Amino acid sequence: GAGVSQSPSNKVTEKGKDVELRCDPISGHTALYWYRQSLGQGLEFLIYFQGNSAPDKSGLPSDRFSAERTGGSVSTLTIQRTQQEDSAVYLCASSLEFASGGANTQYFGPGTRLTVL
């Protein structure tokens, strides 16, 4: 079946502009996760959704970042007034459900490479 898809695959924007990144999880997966992969800094957890709710938003790096999920499926990550330090690959993952201990395997999308000029 189809895996996690993300769009766009690449986004180049100017500093100060807003961007929206989209994630389409695997059908039937109720949990959805956003990560950021910066050059030389590994993977950084941003936020997760169980259904449409995000219990913990503390991983978002600043108040310019927000995420929503509607209908328990597609999620969008929005970055307002982008800065050069926002340049990274943004990864989305989904799992059947959010299980304490993380026993549910996360399946990753190909990522969106964001470049802020």
Q: Which stretch binds other proteins (CB under 8 A): 20-28, 65-73, 78-86, 98-106?
A: 98-106
Which is nearest to 32 in space by CA: 20, 19, 46, 44?
Answer: 46
Q: Is 43 in the site for other proteins (CB under 8 A)?
A: yes
Q: In the complex, what is the shortest distance from the CB of residue 16 to other proteins, in angstroms, rounded to a whole number? A: 30
Residues 6+ apart with CB under 8 A from 12: 115, 117
Q: Is residue 41 a contact residue for other proteins (CB under 8 A)?
A: yes
The reply to whether 112 sits near other proteins by the rule CB under 8 A is no
Q: Which of 21, 24, 29, 48 binds other proteins (CB under 8 A)?
A: 48
Alpha carbon distance 114, 112 (integer Å): 6
Q: What is the C-alpha separation between 103 and 72, in angstroms, rounded?
A: 20
Q: Give 55-103 as a DSSP string.
A: S--TTSSSTTEEEEE-TTS-EEEEESS--GGG-EEEEEEEESS--TT--
Minimum distance from CB of 70 to other proteins (Å)?
A: 22
**Residue 103 binds other proteins, judged by CB under 8 A:** yes
**Cβ at position 68, least distance to other proteins in Å:** 18
**Footprint of other proteins (CB under 8 A):** 33, 35, 41-45, 48, 56, 59, 91, 93, 100-103, 105-111
